Amino acid sequence: MKQIEHLVNRIAQRISINLRELDFDIQPYIRNTIPMSQLVKFYAFYGITPHHPLNFHFSHSSLAGSYFLGKSRVDHSILYKSDIRGDELKSKGDLFKFDGGVVPVHEDESIQIKDSFLIKTLVHNYSHDPESLEVFFINDSMSMHYTNIHGSPSEGCFFQPFSTIDLTTAHDCVIGRYSYVQVGEISHIEVEPGTIWIKNRSDFNFLYRYPREILNRYVQYQPGDGPPTGIFMNFIEERKPDFKHIYDVVNIEPSISIPKGTSLDRYAVIKRKTHIEENVLVAQRAYLENIWLGKGANAQENCYIINSRLEGYNVTAHGAKIIHANMGEKVFVGFNSFLRGSEDCPLTIAKNCIVMPHTIIDLQEPINIPESHLVWGFISNSSDLKHQSMSLQAFSEIREGIVLGDMLFEGSGEKFVKGFQNRIQHILEANGAFYDGRSNRGHAQKNQKISFNTIQPYPEGDLMGLYPTIEIRP
Amino acid sequence: MKQIEHLVNRIAQRISINLRELDFDIQPYIRNTIPMSQLVKFYAFYGITPHHPLNFHFSHSSLAGSYFLGKSRVDHSILYKSDIRGDELKSKGDLFKFDGGVVPVHEDESIQIKDSFLIKTLVHNYSHDPESLEVFFINDSMSMHYTNIHGSPSEGCFFQPFSTIDLTTAHDCVIGRYSYVQVGEISHIEVEPGTIWIKNRSDFNFLYRYPREILNRYVQYQPGDGPPTGIFMNFIEERKPDFKHIYDVVNIEPSISIPKGTSLDRYAVIKRKTHIEENVLVAQRAYLENIWLGKGANAQENCYIINSRLEGYNVTAHGAKIIHANMGEKVFVGFNSFLRGSEDCPLTIAKNCIVMPHTIIDLQEPINIPESHLVWGFISNSSDLKHQSMSLQAFSEIREGIVLGDMLFEGSGEKFVKGFQNRIQHILEANGAFYDGRSNRGHAQKNQKISFNTIQPYPEGDLMGLYPTIEIRP
């Protein structure tokens, strides 16, 4: 597999050049994290439906275990068990709203990944960037386990495990493990691990940072030592065997009944006693066990929902985990959040709550979060709630700013809350939560029938692990 | 699935135009043979190895259940459970021998199928045609169940069930069911069902025709009535359930040990008590049960070998069936032959025999065919052998011609026998029977590690059953 080693070197060199100002050494990360032999073990796959723009181009790349939907292009890259979902990209003729005006989109947008190395990364959503309407690019970048690159064109970046970059364009940056960044545009900075940072120009700025000793319990990483460790990885590894069967068979019959308007991806794991209602979207690589999912709820890629009841219109974002919880209607749980109750210490979250991305609620006692609250940071008991939650009403009344525990907020609380609520509404709409049998179709309806196609690399020789050049067009 | 119905009409119209002189109505064949709903049920697949020229192009076609290896292009066609193996095509720079001279091949040859409808058809081997060295074309043609189109460029042709066209270019012809044609070039003729016709310019002409009542027992077909009927189809249908599992799972471990130099395709069915030796090629869709396959033997696509022992260097060609037989070394069994002994009436064929393509040996008593004999036609007991076999020695001595039973031979018996022997030698070489660990690599060695990739059509809507445009290059 000589060629693929050249490719790894080529990617490492490019990222190093981009990160030279930060004096960051990418080599131990890129070289030791995935054994090259893994790259021939897993098939990649892509979905075909009449409802999605179909346009794939793969060249000089390894795609082991990766999944593609929509319009995307991958060149000179290694995508290991990643999800590239280009099914919410902008279309030719769309009008992109910006600064009170509109910019017409002159061709269908595509995701373009080049000279990059992504590991178990979710790439999704149209890019927010008004400077690059038609291309959502990821160039000269590396992302580690369970990163989300969400509507965020990136070049020369390194995303550490469980980090999320959301609606942000990033140039030559390092994002620390379990950090969440949604700030519009950044360049040449290193974001410290465990940082939750949301900024909208001069409107507001939200900043929280996990205490290092807590963060390390959940996700730790030593360059050169292989995959990350900690509670997050242990939790995922324990459930890995459940995925084996779904990748081993070609066709799989759903084990539960699928109501009207609902889609259950054939690559999701559904365990005992799971019930789902209408207009639900269960994405691939979601894991559901002993749960009730109410109407219009969605369970996105890499999420785990176990021993829980979600009343309806719940968003469980990419990578979020919910265990032993009762959630009222329209509770939003952001990216990579980890909400773990237990039989003795259940978690109750009342309706209309917003659980911020990258929130950890890991209970030592039962807690109840009242309706319409915003929750963030690390919570293990009721007293933590005092400094890590606030009613949406109270938050909306913030005019200048506030400091609460490890959280700093500047600007308009109202704009922050409104922004979040609008986005949740958009997510529910896009996922088809409000489908009435005729209008408001979304992913839940469009993804009901997908043809899955599988691709594999050269099985031996110099090209071993690399995929041939593949182009798929309508 | 509106588009695919247009495509069927388009293909039917084109074939009708080509066959207008023969006054042949293709409509009932093309319309009722495969229910359109079948076209979305099965995935197609293609193999990738570093040893085969890799170049696929599929557009505006349905490929349900079809398999591709090597270099091929399919446009505006329906290929249903067909095998397109472009792994023995001519390469750029090859020198094609013709009439004592050589013609250089100026680019890699490819199989190109256009405006055609092939059902369970095997397309293989480089084309023999000196007029079209770089393209092995199949245009405006239809082939029915278990046809072999072998090195035979064809346009405007209709191949009826279990027919074979071999090293012959055909223009606007109809080949009757279970007919075998190897005559160099034909145009505007209809070959009657059950005809075995081998002709090499003025050197020789071999002609045998099955009595109609015998033929009808084995393969019968009424236009418009669905698939063909008879013993051949019954035999295949009974064994169809054994194939289900191998298409249902993604990876499959071989159930028997695979010696050095041998390849066992992962899409072959291997049942109890099967043993295979070195340098054996077992192709996909081969079916082996309770057999011993000696060194350098090959079992080609759609063949069935059951309760038999083959000593080595045996060729079991595409679609041949061998049941309860003992075969000496280097016995050749041609395309679609049906050799059925039973426990009480075993078939014994001694070494170096040539069983002609499309031979039926269906025994009511045990028979022994002595070494170095040529066998053809229909044989059910020893007395049939008198008119349907001859020693290669005696056959080689034919100078002018001979009439024996239903067989007519004109020309040089020696050239006929030599031609056959050379071809058998070529097949063994190409399949890797003589691999010594270093040189003489053939299919058995090159096919040991294949990555299988699966593709599926649009699952619903107007395009249902059609595949997107796909291009795969190195």
Computed over every residue of chain B, the mean pLDDT equals: 95
- Per-residue pLDDT tens over the stretch A342-388: 999 999 999 999 999 999 999 999 999 999 999 999 999 999 999 99
DSSP state, A66?
-
pLDDT of A127 above 90:
no
A153 token code pair: 């064109």
Nearest-CA neighbor of B356 among B387, B371, B378, B340?
Answer: B378
Reported as a single tens digit per residue, the pLDDT across A375-424 is 999 999 999 999 999 999 999 999 999 999 999 999 999 999 999 999 99
Contact B301, B286 (CB under 8 A): yes
B2 touches A: beta carbon within 8 Å: no
Q: How far, CA to CA in Å, does B334 sit from each of A334, B210, B337, B357?
A: 65, 16, 6, 4
Query: Exposure pattern of A1-37 as b/e (b: 16+ CB <10 Å)?
Result: bebbeebbeebbebbbebbeeeebebeebbeebbeee
Distance in angstroms (rounded) separating the CA atoms of residues A92 and A126: 13
Could you tell me if A202 lies within 8 Å of chain B, comparing CB atoms? Answer: no
Tell me what percent of the residues of chain A surpass a pLDDT of 90.
86
Q: Is pLDDT larger for residue A121 or for residue A226?
A: A121
Distance CA B474, CA B470 (A): 14
Task: Say what the ipTM of the complex is.
Answer: 0.87
Asked if B54 has any chain A CB less than 8 Å from its own CB, the reply is: yes
Nearest to B314 by CA among B343, B272, B286: B286
Which chain A residue is nearest to residue B465, measuring alpha carbons? A451
Q: In the prediction, which pLDDT does B1 show?
A: 63
Which chain A residues contact residue B461 at CB under 8 A?
50-51
For residue A407, the distance in angstroms to the closest alpha carbon of chain B comes to 49
Amino acid code (one letter) for A363: L
> Is the model's pLDDT at A341 over the cut of 90?
yes
Whole-angstrom distance, CA of residue B268 vs CA of residue B262:
14
Residue range A449-470: mean pLDDT, rounded:
93
On the question of a common fold for A2-91+101-235+450-472 and A240-446, the answer reads: yes
Instruction: Bin B437: left if φ > 0, else alpha if -120 < ψ < 50, else beta.
Output: left
Contact A468 B474 (CB under 8 A): yes
**pLDDT tens, position by position, A277-332:** 999 999 999 999 999 999 999 999 999 999 999 999 999 999 999 999 999 999 99
Rounded to a whole number of angstroms, the distance from the CA of A50 to the nearest CA of chain B is 6
- Concatenating the DSSP letter of every residue in A93-139 gives T-EEEETTEEEE--S--EEEEES-EEES-EEES----TT-SSEEEEE
pLDDT value of position A243: 94
Mean pLDDT by 10 residues, chain B (474 residues): 90 94 89 86 92 91 95 97 93 90 92 97 90 95 97 97 97 98 97 97 96 97 89 98 91 89 95 95 96 97 98 98 98 98 98 98 98 98 96 97 96 97 96 95 91 92 94 93
Token pair 């324990």 is found at A238
Residue keyed to tokens 């029915």: B144
State residue A1's pLDDT score. 64
Q: How far apart are CA A450 and CA B464, in angstroms?
A: 11
Asked if B471 lies within 8 A of A474 by C-beta distance, the reply is no
Residue B375 parent element (H or E): strand B373-375
**Which CATH number is correct for A2-91+101-235+450-472, 2.60.120.380, 2.160.10.10, 1.10.3720.10, 1.10.287.3510?**
2.160.10.10
Predicted pLDDT at A254: 87
Q: State the fold for domain B240-396+416-446.
A: UDP N-Acetylglucosamine Acyltransferase; domain 1 (2.160.10)
DSSP for A390-429 reads EEHHHHHT-SSEEEETTEEEEE-HHHHHHHHHHHHHHHHH
The answer to whether the Cβ–Cβ distance between A468 and B251 falls below 8 Å is no
The residue in chain A having the minimum alpha-carbon distance to the alpha carbon of residue B245 is A249
Q: What is the mean pLDDT of chain A?
A: 95
Please give the pLDDT value at position A52: 83
Residue A307 exposed, middle or buried by CB count within 10 Å (0-12, 13-18, 19+): middle
Cα–Cα dist B334/B204, whole Å? 19
Q: What is the CATH code for A240-446?
A: 2.160.10.10
Contact A195, A168 (CB under 8 A): no
CATH topology of domain B2-235+450-472: UDP N-Acetylglucosamine Acyltransferase; domain 1 (2.160.10)
Residue ranges of domains in chain A: 2-91+101-235+450-472, 240-446
How much is the pLDDT for B348? 98
User: CB burial class (10 A; 0-12, 13-18, 19+) of residue A387?
Assistant: middle
B394–chain A Cβ distance below 8 A for any pair: no
- Per-residue pLDDT tens over the stretch A90-116: 999 999 998 889 999 999 999 999 999
Q: How many helices (H) and strands (E) does chain B have?
A: 9, 46
Of A156, A472, A145, whose CA–CA distance to A319 is shortest? A145
Across the interface, which of A250, A468, A472 has its CB nearest the CB of B48?
A: A468
Digit-coded pLDDT (tens) for A208-263 = 999 999 999 999 998 888 899 999 999 999 999 999 989 998 888 888 999 999 99
Closest Cα in chain B, distance from residue A238 (Å): 23
The shortest C-alpha distance from B33 to chain A (Å) reads 25
By CB atoms closer than 10 A (0-12, 13-18, 19+), residue B100 is exposed
